[in-house]
Structure 1
Amino acid sequence: AQRGSIAGALLGALGDNGVVREERTGVLLDQVSSGKLSLVYNVLGSYAQARIDAGAPLGIVEPEDYTLVVLRTAVIPRNSPHPAEAKRFLDYLLSARGQQVLSREARLMPIIRNGGGDSDPGQNRRPIQLGPGLLVYLDALKRRQFLDAWRSSVEPKPR
C-alpha cells in the first residue's frame, strides 16, 4: 500500500490506532459482540447479517461512496462429466426460488431483482469484476510483497 494514496492513509490511520489483524470474519464478529472490539472493517457482510438475524448485538454500516461486493461464481467446465445436470443446477440458482434460498439460507445478496432478469447489485455496491487482474496475487512473490507492504502500513508507528 502506498502511503500517498487514500488506501495508504487509511491503513496508516488503522496502524496508528492499534488495529487488530485477523484472517477470519467470525472471530472479529465474536470480538465485537463481546465488546472486546468496537468495530470491524472489511468483513463479509453475509456473515455479519447471519449473526444479526440470530440476535447478535451487531450492526452493519456501508460507506456512503460505495461498498465492494465479492461475487460468488459458478461455472460449468467444458470437460464437465455432467453438463446437463450442472446447467439445471445453475438455472435453479438463478431462478426466483433459487435466489430466495440463497438469500435466506446462505445470506447471500440476490443478484436477480423480483425474480426477473434485471441485475440489481444494490445501491452504491460495486461487484468485484472477474478478470485476469484477480490472478496477480496468486504469484507467491507478488503476494508476499503485497502482504509485507500491508503489514508494515498497519503496524503502529513509534510516537
Structure 2
Amino acid sequence: MSWKRLLGLTAAVAMLPVLTASAAPAAPADETIIVTAKRSVLSLPAVPTVGLSFLGGGELFDEAGAKVGEGYSTCTVARLAPPELTSHCTSAFRLAKGEIHLSSLRTYTVGATSSFKDSTMAVIGGTGAYKDARGEAKTAKQGGALLDPTAPVSYKFTITISS
C-alpha cells in the first residue's frame, strides 16, 4: 500500500469519532422535580431507641399547590445524641410518571417538636419513567405546626435526576 493511500485511510479513520459524535443524539438534560411534602404521619416516639424503625410521610404537592402524589420514608434509628438522633432512611415518592426512590442519613430533633433537619439524599432509582433514575435530592423544612393538623409540617424536596 502506498504511503498516500495509508495517509488517506488514517485520516478517514481519525474522522470517524467526529462524524459519529455529530450524528449521535444529544444526551437528555437533567430533570428537576420540586414537590412539597405535607406530613400527615410520623410514628417516631418521643423516646426512641437505637434500632427502632419508624415511618413518616404524606401527600406531595407541586409549586402551584396541586396534589401530585404521595411520599413516605421508612427510617431506622442508628445513633442517639439527645436531643437529636441519626437515622438511615429510604423514601418512595409516587408521582404520575412513576416512583422516585431516595436514600439518606437524616438528623432528627426528638420530642414534642420532632422533625428532620435540611438534608441531601441520593436518588437510587424508581419505577416507570424513573426506573433508571440517579441523582441527588435536597430538602428544606417549610414550616407548619407539629401539633396542629390544619397546618402540617412540610418539606420542600428538590430532586435532580442526572442524565
TM-score by length of structure 2 reads 0.17
Greater helix fraction, Structure 1 or Structure 2: 1
Larger Rg: 2
Choose between structure 1 and 2 for higher RCO, CA contacts under 8 A separated by at least 6 residues: 1
Greater strand fraction, Structure 1 or Structure 2: 2
TM-score by length of structure 1 reads 0.17
